[in-house]
Structure 1
Amino acid sequence: MSASVLLVDDDRAVREALGQTLELAGLKPVLAGSYIEAKDHIAPGFDGVVVSDIRMPGKDGFDLLAHVQTVDADLPVIFLTGEGDIPMAVRGMAAGAFEFLEKPCGPQDLLAVVEKALSRRARVLENRRLRRQAEQGDAAQRLLVGQSRQAEDLRAQARAAARTQAEVLILGEAGTGTSKLAEVIHLMSGAATRPFVKLPAPALTPGDVVRALGEAGTGTLFLDEICGLDPAAQFTLVELLDESGRARVIAGSTRDLEAAVAEGRMNADLYYRLDVMRVRIPPLRERAEDIPALFRHFVAQACEQAALPVPDIGPEVTARLMAQDWPGNSRSLMNAAMRFALGLSEAGESAEMGLVERMAQVERSLLIEALTRHRGAASETARALKLPRKTFYDKLARHGIRPEDYRR
């Protein structure tokens, strides 16, 4: 983790010792010796947390807390308190402090509280980002890139899921974007301005599940790889799903959940409670015509993040991309786009690829482009390519292309 921690203490030795502890943990401490020094670092976009001594000459920790709350009420402030000042620290908690630590503060205690606060801060900032996106229009159209029939169907299913508060089960191979689809459904739902909490299910205990639903409030809780949830936590989730006024639960999985139920790895009651609305994300090999648009989207994102000009994506690049199966799906395509944007590799190119392989890539790309243009009509596509019917179908079979995948 690399995040900022504004550490405020008038005792230089204490300040530097705690700063070193934070730095060794991979964090970025910003040291300040007073309210005045600290004030300039506090802004609404500050991605970290504040750790401040309570007793300081001049304006103290309470003054700093009050200033933080006027700038950003969701910015966590952790108080450091000396022996005998516990009542003062408790008063600080009542005033809105996130937590307090008693000096001398051990490294593990400091890091545990700071990382908890940073996690809270990250979620707050993420939810703000989601709210901003929700205000900009239809999230399905903006975030689910592609013009294939499968992409259009996926957007339609996302909109249908957003119109209800029922539980949703998202199924898809690794890298297809189950988390992103859950976010899109949340953004288009009536809970768009409420919290969106996403967590890996295999890491959760029963207590974690209870806390996660509490943190999501009446928003959305996305549990990824639901099949890996601990059996006791699965039972707890079943019980919580019976409660009213809770967060909506969306679950994602890359595994066969019906098989998991049959093998006893997944609670049958939980499976049926979650399987109210089911959305399957097709792998890239089933929507190859979307690969160029997705690649351009990912390249543009990478260039924006790196402040680089967007490179030209010519037909040879497109042909190489469409000739691959992309077993890692959108995630591997995104990685390829990032490397391409940074000039680290040619997209989809293999160092061992010869002329025959390259010609096959181009042929496959032209077949898919023509089928897309003619909406999967095989006879029209064959005529447009000036190919005999048998030759056309032989080529489709060689490349594993099905015309029906391009009908819409």
Structure 2
Amino acid sequence: MTEPLVYIVDDDEDLRDAVLDTLEDAGLPAEGFSSASPALAKLNPEWPGIVVSDIRMPGMGGMEFLHAARDQFPEIPFVMITGHGDVQTATNAMKAGAFDFLEKPARPEYLVDVVRRALEMRRLQIENSNLKTLVADGGALKSRLIGRSKVMKALRKEILAVAPLKIDVLLLGETGTGKELTAQSIHDLSPHSDSPFETVNCGMLSDGNWQNSIEVKLTSTDGSTLFLDELEALPEPLQLRLLALIETRDSNGPRIIAALKSDPAQLIAEGRLRADLYYRINVAQIILPPLTERENDLFVLLEFFIRDAAARHQLKLPEITQDMLNPLRVHSWPGNVRELRNAAEKMVIGLPLALTPGTSEAKAPFGEGESYDDAMGRFEKALLRHALMQAGGRKGLAAESLGIPRKRLYLRLKTLGLD
């Protein structure tokens, strides 16, 4: 049943029914009450509707009803009805906070117009309230996705932009960059934050557990969020079945947030990711930066993780020397934030770091331990990879975003070994 957007409160049954019929004919769901008390009991601050109330009623009169509602729910608009040409009472109602007033008998078209205007004001109130909440939650987001670098500020901004929208999201990022934390944050900042958030590791799926892990969840209508981690690990037949489920998903079905660890273009070229599934899920794309591209966030995060570990283990903060920090400056951090958190844990406990060996491509901060040519080559590789990921692997679009001819992009990719 559609939630009523208008409560009609009037002890005159004939007039109440006439107003209900007029609003229903205009596509405005409404509910009638013969007295104010039961209507007042049903009001709540999240209700997106308005009240149309007679002023003169036995028991709780319209003005008393207005004052009582304004005390508890000051933002719900009231439209007052008077049948006695009582201008003074109508004026008092407006002073008390009523949105507007109508004289009996109100012309149907005028009644509908006033109600629509009041509902629009109510919609804007709720929208503004949600925006304020989102802005406030944006502060909380800083304590989750920690970092002062430009890329992290941009990441938080992207999350705040997509979170309120009922659209699927694709997260791209290396191991340990915080994809599940980002997915959880998007869910928590959405209008359906009270609904379940469920994580499915696609690498663990098979025909045997497919139905309980995916089919049941994708056919639900509870407004939940389904996080599909390591989508590229899903076998190709199951990718096809997933695509079919997404295409037939109910409008109230779960929101999908999927994550990839590698470049989608490369995965598609290698046959590890279906192109049709990628384009279906890739409604909004968010790229999570690796730790080496986050400016000085390394030491901001290190301090946070050390303090957190010391508090959890009830240990003193360790003495951090320059000799201990130097290896961290030049380490490539293939495990990204997850690896840094583990390193901080070992520093607190007093264990040797034993940093994970890096990849063949150095990822030390630019200008430290590498030549100018090496640094510029690494920068160009990162730039081209980012442009290709943003363009979904389409080289023509990537070249356009970079402001260079397509031929030049092809040549640079070949020269850098990225073709």
Asked if structure 2 preserves the Cα contact closer than 8 Å seen for 1:139 and 1:188, the reply is no
Change beyond 3 A, Cα 1:319–1:194? same
Aligned to 1:397: 372
Q: Quick one: which amino acid aligns to residue 205 of structure 2?
A: L
Aligned to 1:249: 256
Asked if structure 2 preserves the Cα contact closer than 8 Å seen for 1:320 and 1:347, the reply is no
Q: Quick one: which amino acid aligns to residue 308 of structure 1?
A: L
**2:307 corresponds to 1:300:** yes
* CA–CA separation in structure 1 for the residues paired with 2:204 and 2:156: 30
| Structure 1: tracts of 5 or more residues without a match | 1-133, 351-363, 369-391
* CA–CA separation in structure 2 for the residues paired with 1:302 and 1:196: 27
Q: Quick one: which amino acid aligns to residue 228 of structure 2?
A: L
Within the candidate set 219, 225, 228, 1:223 is matched to 228
Aligned to 1:289: 296
Deviation sequence 1:45-94 (CA, Å, 0-9, x none): xxxxxxxxxxxxxxxxxxxxxxxxxxxxxxxxxxxxxxxxxxxxxxxxxx
Asked if structure 2 preserves the Cα contact closer than 8 Å seen for 1:231 and 1:267, the reply is yes
Aligned residues: 234
Within the candidate set 225, 236, 240, 2:241 is matched to 236
* CA–CA separation in structure 2 for the residues paired with 1:173 and 1:224: 12
Q: CA deviation at 1:168?
A: 0.8
Q: Quick one: which amino acid aligns to residue 344 of structure 1?
A: L
Q: CA deviation at 1:309?
A: 2.7
For 1:175, what is the secondary structure of its paired residue? Answer: coil
Pairwise mapping of residues 96-245 of structure 1 onto structure 2 (< 5 A)?
A: 138-205=139-206, 206-207=210-211, 208-213=213-218, 217-242=222-247, 243=249, 244-245=251-252
Aligned to 2:393: none
Aligned to 1:269: 276
Change beyond 3 A, Cα 1:195–1:216? farther
* CA–CA separation in structure 1 for the residues paired with 2:184 and 2:178: 10
Asked if structure 2 preserves the Cα contact closer than 8 Å seen for 1:292 and 1:322, the reply is no
Q: Quick one: which amino acid aligns to residue 144 of structure 2?
A: L
Change beyond 3 A, Cα 1:137–1:158? closer
Change beyond 3 A, Cα 1:190–1:318? farther
Deviation sequence 1:303-334 (CA, Å, 0-9, x none): 22212233344554444322222122111111
For 2:296, what is the secondary structure of its paired residue? Answer: helix
Change beyond 3 A, Cα 1:189–1:349? closer
Structure 1 window deviating more from structure 2 (273-282 vs 184-193): it is 184-193
Q: CA deviation at 1:172?
A: 0.9
Q: CA deviation at 1:246?
A: 0.9
Q: Quick one: which amino acid aligns to residue 171 of structure 2?
A: I
| Aligned Cα root-mean-square deviation (Å) | 3.4
* CA–CA separation in structure 2 for the residues paired with 1:165 and 1:211: 20
* CA–CA separation in structure 1 for the residues paired with 2:370 and 2:265: 37
TM-score (norm 1): 0.51
* CA–CA separation in structure 1 for the residues paired with 2:368 and 2:331: 20
Q: CA deviation at 1:212?
A: 3.5
Change beyond 3 A, Cα 1:218–1:211? same
Aligned residues: percent identity?
Answer: 33
TM-score (norm 2): 0.49
Change beyond 3 A, Cα 1:349–1:247? closer
Q: Quick one: which amino acid aligns to residue 241 of structure 2?
A: T
Aligned to 1:322: 329
Aligned to 1:63: none
* CA–CA separation in structure 2 for the residues paired with 1:174 and 1:221: 20
Change beyond 3 A, Cα 1:263–1:331? same
Pairwise mapping of residues 52-63 of structure 1 onto structure 2 (< 5 A)?
A: none
Q: CA deviation at 1:216?
A: 8.8
* CA–CA separation in structure 1 for the residues paired with 2:348 and 2:369: 36
* CA–CA separation in structure 2 for the residues paired with 1:395 and 1:262: 33
Q: Quick one: which amino acid aligns to residue 147 of structure 1?
A: R
Q: Would you identify which runs of 4 or more consecutive aligned residues in structure 1 move more than 3 Å? A: 134-139, 212-217, 312-320, 346-350, 392-396, 398-405
Q: CA deviation at 1:232?
A: 2.9
The structure whose Rg is larger is 2
* CA–CA separation in structure 1 for the residues paired with 2:330 and 2:319: 19
Change beyond 3 A, Cα 1:345–1:136? farther
* CA–CA separation in structure 1 for the residues paired with 2:195 and 2:273: 29
Q: CA deviation at 1:399?
A: 8.5
Q: CA deviation at 1:161?
A: 2.0
Deviation sequence 1:169-200 (CA, Å, 0-9, x none): 11111121211111121122222221111121
Asked if structure 2 preserves the Cα contact closer than 8 Å seen for 1:196 and 1:216, the reply is no
Aligned to 1:310: 317
Q: Quick one: which amino acid aligns to residue 276 of structure 1?
A: V
Aligned to 1:331: 338
Asked if structure 1 preserves the Cα contact closer than 8 Å seen for 2:226 and 2:254, the reply is yes
Q: Quick one: which amino acid aligns to residue 173 of structure 2?
A: G
For 1:160, what is the secondary structure of its paired residue? Answer: helix
Change beyond 3 A, Cα 1:313–1:286? same
Q: CA deviation at 1:238?
A: 1.5
Q: CA deviation at 1:287?
A: 1.6
Deviation sequence 1:14-64 (CA, Å, 0-9, x none): xxxxxxxxxxxxxxxxxxxxxxxxxxxxxxxxxxxxxxxxxxxxxxxxxxx
* CA–CA separation in structure 2 for the residues paired with 1:260 and 1:403: 23
